[in-house]
Amino acid sequence: MFWFGQQVRGGTFYQMGERIMKKLLAATSAIAVLSVSTVWAQGQLSLDGKTIGVAVVGTQHFWDREAFNGATSRVEELGGTVVAVDGGRDNQVHADNHDVLMNRGVDAVISILGDGAVEPKFEALQAAGIPVFSVDHPSPHVVNNTTSDNYYMGTTIGRYMADAMGGAGKVAVFNAFENSLRICGIRTGLWKYVLQDYPEIEIIQPELAEEFANAPEDARRQTLDLLSQYPEGEIDAIHVGCWDQPAIGVVQALEESGRTDVLVTALDGGPDTLEIMAEEGSPFVANVAQQPRLIGQTAAENVARYFAGDTLLPQTYVEVVPINGPEEAKAAYKELGYGEIN
């Protein structure tokens, strides 16, 4: 039974290297899955008798909701009882919800996202002997953090974008969260690191700051303003540094203005943005998809492994899916279980 502290619901070397990287990632993932599956097959993976608190920063966004559903459903499948709290996309409310879970006397906490406000809460839970397992939030006060390989995501989207631009031109970037959220810092920082090898690509200053609430509409308005400042031939690409919801508005602005000269790249690979990428002639040319439900499920399994006496590494990385062009968008859409795009 769920209880919510707030409202409920809320042929080149490069190509060879990339193929090798994909195989290594697949092998790593397979090893991780095999490890978990082996324990499970032996009947040792269980949360029977355990009450697990699941704190999520919000459930409005696809990624957040999928990670939350993956964590809660897996806890229950393993026999545990879930106490869930939803921060309604308010980072401080999300942090304070950890106090609620401590007062409820849960056996462990899975914490999904959040900013630095959660750190003292994690520390308090740790001091109280309640282990914390984070999702997309590395911390010295957690047993383990489950996340995508953000290093690979940042470098891959940098290479894909640079290749699409022909290694030269001007790019604007939406980058509101690089300094406040660690995962965004990694992704955007490594995107910039890759661009150091492309001296003919210029990042337009100042960078743009998207809003989380109503992100597509906010990005649409900002992009229309940007396009008025940079007429055709003076800007070549727009990148969203940490996620992909603003990219929906960026594409809308390009369509409204009749601009076909600007490419779009972003990260996350949710079903809505993959559908846009799959359209013929779409300016949205590259993405790297995550598997949020699998991330949530893996976090729950790590809790069970911890109680089974397994030693966990500080970070568990879940495989991501690089997407370059419309055909790969269609293939990823199917691979990730979102259905078929004809």
Report phi then psi at 265, rounded to 5.
-135, 155
Strand order in the sheet with 263-265: 201-203, 169-174, 237-240, 263-265, 284-289, 321-324
What is residue 44's predicted lDDT score, i.e. its pLDDT? 77
Residue type, 303: V
Question: Count of CB atoms within 10 A of residue 52's CB?
Answer: 28
Per-residue CA distances from 16 to 19, 21, 22, 82, 263 (Å): 5, 9, 10, 45, 25
Average pLDDT, the chain: 89
pLDDT at 57 over 80: yes
Which ranges in the chain belong to alpha helices (H)? Answer: 13-41, 62-77, 91-103, 119-127, 150-164, 182-195, 215-229, 245-257, 271-278, 292-307, 326-335
Q: Which whole number is the average pLDDT over 151-172?
A: 98
Q: Confidence band (pLDDT; 50, 70, 90) for 43?
A: low
Q: Please write the tens of the pLDDT for every residue from 292-332.
A: 999 999 999 999 999 999 999 999 999 999 999 999 999 99
Mean pLDDT value across residues 201-219 = 95
Q: In whole angstroms, how far apart are CA 302 and each of 31, 51, 199, 320?
A: 15, 15, 43, 19
Give yes or no for a cis peptide into 206 (omega within 30° of 0): yes
Spatial distance between the Cα atoms of 146 and 193, rounded to a whole number of angstroms: 24
Give the mean model confidence (pLDDT) for residues 134-150: 97
| pTM of the predicted structure, to 2 decimals | 0.84
Structure tokens at 300: 């729950």
Residue 267 near residue 240 (C-beta atoms within 8 A): yes
- Count of beta carbons in the 10 Å neighbourhood of residue 330: 18
Over range 278-294, report the average pLDDT: 97
| CA dihedral sign, ordered 332, 333, 334, 340 | negative
Q: Could you tell me what percent of the chain has a pLDDT over 90?
A: 85
Helix (H, G, I), strand (E, B) or coil at 14: helix
Give strand pairing partners of 82.
52
